[in-house]
């Protein structure tokens, strides 16, 4: 039914006709075809093509997880221009948790359904390496059954600078301490001119990819992001996705791709650009749909409701999205830069969002193992 709806009537944009044929036959798309998908005004056809690929991958299932966001510090020396989260020592609004503070924080938010603790935070210049190992092992032992998904590649690079150990040594020690997976942050945009402008002091694109390759080789699955809607070009977006696709070909281990919409408040980049609007709903849907079509070897494309709103995330379930993240208790990073969504949703709200979109909700864990299907 879906294939028929895509093929008849023909796409309004004739550039999409040969692309639709390739999608229908399961062929891989090129850089030029990815760029054409970004440039087309035929959004309905783009969404239908992406939805076809989604249905091939997962049927009518849409996934969510019970997740607690832990950002144990907002102290950070990196200075990314898009960030409204980071603080320096002594600044207003700074926090920095010792381990006992971490346990108290998790205790406040813990409930029996909690599956995943997702850790991403600032690059603290003074915390010793043992703190991070004790944090992971402490969470693993104190909360049996809760999986620790922690440390972006940018933070792994920070640990490398801190300890002078290799990425492999650092990741091996974290895995031994209980780490089961990694989030996908820190990727931003791989194109070097843009990266120098928005994240000059962060891990390089090559370093980010090397860290994820190493994690996959060690049996640590990961996710991947892309920050869009600021100073990058459409070509930069396609390049970013194709570098991820190539790594997944060479060293499989990515679970999901998460496009992150730039949040235009409380950060130097937004003030520099001085725009009243950055991403739109159509831009958000286009990114998700293009990702589903280009990243043919990624199991999931995630609609991150924190940044694009629950309502648009619901629409995205018909534009290639098969995962909506989860309950996300106490999210702070996106909200520090202007996200206006709630800091968490209930399981019931997520199930209702998915069902109202005509999909079957599936509760998963951090490794995408199905825990419950809400038929």
At residue 118, the pLDDT reads 95
At residue 254, the pLDDT reads 98
Geometric angle at alpha carbon 190, from 43 and 26, rounded to 5°: 45
Geometric angle at alpha carbon 36, from 33 and 37, rounded to 5°: 90
Give the residue-averaged pLDDT of 343-362: 91
Whether 104 has a pLDDT exceeding 50, the answer reads: yes
At residue 331, the pLDDT reads 44
Phi-psi region of 107 (alpha: psi -120 to 50; beta: other; left: phi over 0): alpha
Give the residue-averaged pLDDT of 7-13: 67
Using 50, 70 and 90 to split pLDDT, how confident is the model at 8?
A: very low
At residue 275, the pLDDT reads 67
**Alpha helices, H only, the chain:** 2-7, 16-24, 31-39, 43-58, 99-109, 129-142, 153-163, 167-177, 192-198, 205-217, 234-250, 268-273, 281-294, 305-308, 310-316, 333-336, 347-356
Specify the length of the chain in residues: 375
Give the residue-averaged pLDDT of 153-180: 97
At residue 329, the pLDDT reads 66
- DSSP bridge partners of 69: 118
At residue 341, the pLDDT reads 43
pLDDT, one tens digit per residue, over 303-313 is: 988 888 899 99
pLDDT, one tens digit per residue, over 312-344 is: 999 999 999 999 998 876 544 443 444 444 557
Whether 34 has a pLDDT exceeding 90, the answer reads: yes
Give the residue-averaged pLDDT of 24-38: 97
Share of the chain above pLDDT 90, in %: 77
pLDDT, one tens digit per residue, over 66-88 is: 999 999 999 999 888 888 777 88
C-alpha to C-alpha distance for 278 and 283, rounded to whole angstroms: 9
Give all domains of the chain, ordered by start, each with its CATH number. 52-373 (3.20.20.70)
Whether 256 has a pLDDT exceeding 50, the answer reads: yes
Q: Note the pTM of the prediction, 2 decimals.
A: 0.92
The first and second tokens of residue 179, run together, are 């780490």
- Helices 167-177 and 129-142: crossing angle, nearest 10°? 30
Q: How many CA atoms lie within 13 A of 112 on its CB side?
A: 0
pLDDT, one tens digit per residue, over 156-169 is: 999 999 999 999 99
At residue 245, the pLDDT reads 98
C-alpha to C-alpha distance for 185 and 121, rounded to whole angstroms: 10
């Amino acid at each position: 039914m879906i294939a028929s709806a895509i093929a008849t009537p023909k796409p309004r944009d004739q550039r999409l006709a040969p692309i639709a044929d390739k999608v229908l036959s399961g062929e891989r798309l090129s850089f030029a075809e990815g760029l054409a998908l970004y440039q087309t005004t035929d959004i309905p056809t783009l969404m239908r093509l992406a939805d076809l690929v989604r249905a091939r991958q997962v049927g009518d299932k849409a996934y969510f997880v019970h997740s607690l966001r832990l950002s144990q510090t907002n102290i950070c020396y990196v200075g990314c221009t898009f960030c409204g989260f980071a603080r320096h020592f002594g600044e207003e609004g700074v926090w920095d948790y010792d381990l006992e503070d971490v346990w108290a924080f998790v205790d406040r938010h813990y409930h029996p359904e909690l599956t995943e603790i997702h850790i991403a935070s600032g690059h603290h210049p003074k915390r010793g390496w043992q703190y991070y190992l004790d944090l992971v092992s402490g969470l693993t032992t104190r909360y049996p059954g809760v999986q620790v998904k922690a440390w972006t590649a940018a933070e792994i690079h920070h640990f490398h600078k801190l300890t002078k150990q290799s990425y492999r040594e650092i990741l091996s020690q974290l895995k031994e301490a209980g780490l089961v997976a990694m989030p996908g942050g820190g990727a931003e945009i791989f194109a070097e001119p843009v990266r120098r402008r928005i994240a000059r002091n962060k891990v390089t694109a090559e370093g980010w990819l090397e860290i994820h390759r190493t994690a996959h080789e060690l049996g640590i699955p990961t996710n991947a992001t892309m920050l869009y809607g600021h100073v990058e070009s459409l070509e930069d977006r396609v390049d970013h996705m194709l570098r991820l696709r190539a790594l997944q070909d060479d060293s499989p281990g990515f679970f999901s791709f998460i496009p992150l919409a730039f949040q235009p408040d409380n950060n130097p980049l937004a003030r520099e650009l001085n725009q009243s609007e950055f991403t739109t709903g159509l831009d958000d849907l286009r990114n998700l749909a293009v990702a589903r079509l280009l990243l043919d070897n990624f199991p999931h494309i995630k609609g991150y409701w924190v940044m694009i709103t629950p309502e648009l995330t619901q629409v995205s379930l018909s534009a290639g999205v098969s995962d909506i993240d989860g309950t996300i208790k106490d999210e702070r990073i996106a909200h520090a830069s202007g996200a206006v969504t709630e800091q968490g949703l209930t399981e019931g709200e997520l199930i209702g969002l998915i069902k109202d979109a005509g999909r079957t909700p599936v509760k998963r864990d951090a490794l995408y193992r199905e825990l419950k299907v809400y038929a």
